[in-house]
Structure 1
Amino acid sequence: MHPTLITELRFEPLNLPLTEPFAIATGAPERADNVLVRLTLADGTVGLGEAAPFTAVSGETQASTLEAMASVRDALVGRDASGWRPIGAWLTEALPRAPSARCGIELALLDALGRHHRMPLATLFGGAGRALDIDMTVTAGDEAHAAASARAIVARGIRTLKVKVGALTPEEDVRRMVIIRREAPGARLFADANGGYTVAGARAFLSGLEAAGVPLALFEQPVSREDWEGMAELTRASRVPICADESARTVADVVRLGREGGAHGVNLKLMKSGVVESLAMWNVARAFGMELMMGGMLESTLAMSSAVHFAAGLGGFDYADLDTHLFIREHSFRGGLRCEGGRVDVGHVQAGHGVELE
């Protein structure tokens, strides 16, 4: 039997308590209800993966993710992990509405393959680098929460803050941004509405920031995923770069955004699209000359380490929103990414993503 044949696929719930609810414009989960994946090769190598469904973004749940994985398990056993890209493409067709399930399997497969060949994932993805500078999120909330979050983030040594907006009125969000600017005067500021504004609301938010003298470096997904015209209208008019997130789930989405001028950049998330689809999206976005952000849903150290390998290994990313592991209060993993201030590094990893289950 070939040593890299897949002999077993196992998965189970992975429930992770958070330091605070991860509040965005469309929801506020208080716990990460993820899925842990184990994939075994014929030589006994075991790879670990994680699926992080975020219901408010993709409609997936932990239960639906487990069900999706069960539906493809028998078809995966006996395949050669060396063909990870064809396997990823097949998963995209088999599970079109379950991207986090696909991603969890792909990550376990790639980790097993990396361990088998004694190769870190950053090398497998291209070897462009091993480290990234990240932001940290100020979740949706009131003004007191915004001030406390900004102070805590700056105390970590992180100098880029990504503020969740769109849950309140534009005027209320502007007041939150003013307070965050006061608490972190030298920080670079992003805003992420997760589709929570209308075009008029997004314009009011930008105008309010300009009047208040608050500089914004990036505005992510100001209007809903389906409002393609609104995204293009804001992109044409805004002096602040507009980044698509929910509007960029597939290669076809990125092609449409590029052709219609629907965004200056796109946020790639492995859990939103899967690994192989994200690779294709990276290529298309680069071909259109769009900026690139690497982001996450609500992953622990396991999947977040994999995202660092992906983005650092490929290179070409302008922004790294890879902070969700900092919101996980307790977990049973060791190894993987190292975080010092606003920099994450996987240069020490010898094989796979480097994360072990204690």
Structure 2
Amino acid sequence: MLPTLITDLNFEPLDLALTEPFAIATGAPTMANNVLIRLKLADGTVGLGESAPLTAVSGETQASTLEALHSVRQSLLGKDARGWRPLGALLGEALPKAPSARCGLELALLDALGRHYRMPLFAFFGGAGTGLDIDMTVTAGDEAHAASSARAIVARGIRTIKVKVGALSAEEDVRRMVIIRREAPGARLFADANGGYTVAQSRTFLAGLESEGVPLALFEQPVPREDWEGMAELTRSSRVPICADESARTAKDVLRLAREGGAHGVNLKLMKSGVVESLAMWNLARASGMELMMGGMVESTLAMSSAAHFAAGLGGFDYADLDTHLFIREHSFRGGLRMQDGRVDIGHVQAGHGVDLG
């Protein structure tokens, strides 16, 4: 028997309490109701994966993710893990509406392969680098929350702040941005509306920031996913780079954004698209001259470390939004990414993503 054949595959709920609701324009979960995946190879190697469904973004739930995983379990047993790309394509066909389930399986598969071959995933993905400068998020909330969150982020040594907007009016969000600018005068500022604005509201927001003298380095997904014309209109007229997130779920989406001038950059998230699809998206974005952000859903150290390996190993990323593990109150993992003063590092990892159960 080949040592890399998949011999066992198990799933279980991974419920993680958050330090605060992860509030965005479309929802505010207080728990990360994720799924832990264990994949075993014939030689006894075990790879770990995580699925992090975010209902507000993809419509997935923990229950639907577990159901999706169980539906493909039997078809994966006996397969050779070395064929991870065709297996990823197979999962794409079988689970087109369950990207976080696909991603969790792909991460477990790649972790097992990395451990089998004693290769860290950043090297597996290309070895371009081992570290990334990250931002941290100010979730949606009132002005007092914005001020206290900004102070806490600065205290961590993080120098880029991403602010969730779109849950309130554009005028209220401008006031929050002014306060954050006051509390963190040296920080680079991003805004992420998660599709919560219209084109008119987006313009009001940008004009308000300009009037208040608040510099914005990036404006992410200002309008809903399907408003392709609105994204293109803002991309043409805005002096602030526009980044697509919800509008960039597949390689076809990235191709459409590039052809229509729908964004200056795209946010890749493994949970949103899966690993194999994200690789195709990375290639298209790079070939089109678009900027790249690496992001995530509400993920633990396990999935965040995997995303860091992906982005650092491939290289070419202009922004890294890999902070959701900092919102998790406690978990049972050890190892994985290390962080100091706003920079994550995975250069110490010897095999796979480097995360183990504590």
Match of 1:156 in 2: 156
Match of 1:206 in 2: 206
Tell me how large the CA RMSD over aligned residues is.
Answer: 0.3
Match of 2:348 in 1: 348
Match of 1:193 in 2: 193
What are the superposed Cα offsets for residues 258-297 of structure 1, whole Å, 9 maximum, x if unpaired?
0000000000000000000000000000111000000000
Matched, 1:85 2:112: no
How far the C-alpha of 1:4 sits from its partner, in A, is 0.2
SS across alignment from 2:294: strand
Matched, 1:22 2:22: yes
SS across alignment from 1:329: coil
What are the superposed Cα offsets for residues 288-320 of structure 1, whole Å, 9 maximum, x if unpaired?
100000000000000000000000000000000
1:25-64 alignment, distance < 5 Å: 25-64=25-64
Quote the Cα distance in structure 2 between the aligned partners of 1:84 and 1:339. Answer: 29
Quote the Cα distance in structure 2 between the aligned partners of 1:85 and 1:137. Answer: 33
Unaligned 5+ segments in structure 1 are none
Quote the Cα distance in structure 2 between the aligned partners of 1:154 and 1:243. Answer: 24
Match of 2:334 in 1: 334
Match of 2:223 in 1: 223
Match of 1:315 in 2: 315
How far the C-alpha of 1:341 sits from its partner, in A, is 1.4
SS across alignment from 2:21: coil
What are the superposed Cα offsets for residues 134-162 of structure 1, whole Å, 9 maximum, x if unpaired?
00000000000000000000000000000
What are the superposed Cα offsets for residues 56-80 of structure 1, whole Å, 9 maximum, x if unpaired?
0000000000000000000000110
Q: So what's the TM-score if we normalise by structure 2?
A: 1.00
Q: So what's the TM-score if we normalise by structure 1?
A: 1.00
1:171-320 alignment, distance < 5 Å: 171-320=171-320
- The amino acid of 1:30's aligned partner reads T
1:66-105 alignment, distance < 5 Å: 66-105=66-105
Runs of 4+ in 1 over 6 A off after TM superposition: none
How many aligned positions are there?
358
- The amino acid of 1:161's aligned partner reads I
Quote the Cα distance in structure 1 between the aligned partners of 2:280 and 2:87. Answer: 14
SS across alignment from 2:48: strand
- The amino acid of 1:262's aligned partner reads G
Quote the Cα distance in structure 1 between the aligned partners of 2:284 and 2:80. Answer: 28
What are the superposed Cα offsets for residues 308-335 of structure 1, whole Å, 9 maximum, x if unpaired?
0000000000000000000000100000
SS across alignment from 2:37: strand
How far the C-alpha of 1:349 sits from its partner, in A, is 0.2
- The amino acid of 1:95's aligned partner reads L
Unaligned 5+ segments in structure 2 are none
